[in-house]
Amino acid sequence: MIVMSNFKFSSDNNFEEILKLFLPKIKKSLRNTPFQEREDLEQEIKLKIYEKIYVFDGFSAPGFFDFIEGINGDKL
């Protein structure tokens, strides 16, 4: 399991690190694609990963007690 506490996704260096983690899976998946389309598909996959990193970077989940307070506040 990869632990990424205090990890800022939006840095370009961090994007490269994340891409290194996904690269073996990307390459394995591309074997099912015709040779002529592999490079284009690889670029599209990397672009989608890049887009999702920025979406994920802005996301913050509430802590456990904040979540419980939110639930209890809605019932009152």
Q: What is the 3-state secondary structure (H, E, C) of 18-76?
A: HHHHHHHHHHHHHCCCCHHHHHHHHHHHHHHHHHHHHHHHCCCCCCHHHHHHHHHHHHC
- Residues 15-35: pLDDT tens digits? 889 899 999 999 999 999 999
- pLDDT band at residue 67, thresholds of 50, 70 and 90? confident
Rounded average pLDDT over 1-26: 73
Estimate to the nearest angstrom the gap between the alpha carbon of 32 and the chain centroid. 23
Mean pLDDT taken over the chain: 81
Residue 73 has pLDDT above 50, yes or no: yes
Please state the pTM of the whole predicted model: 0.60
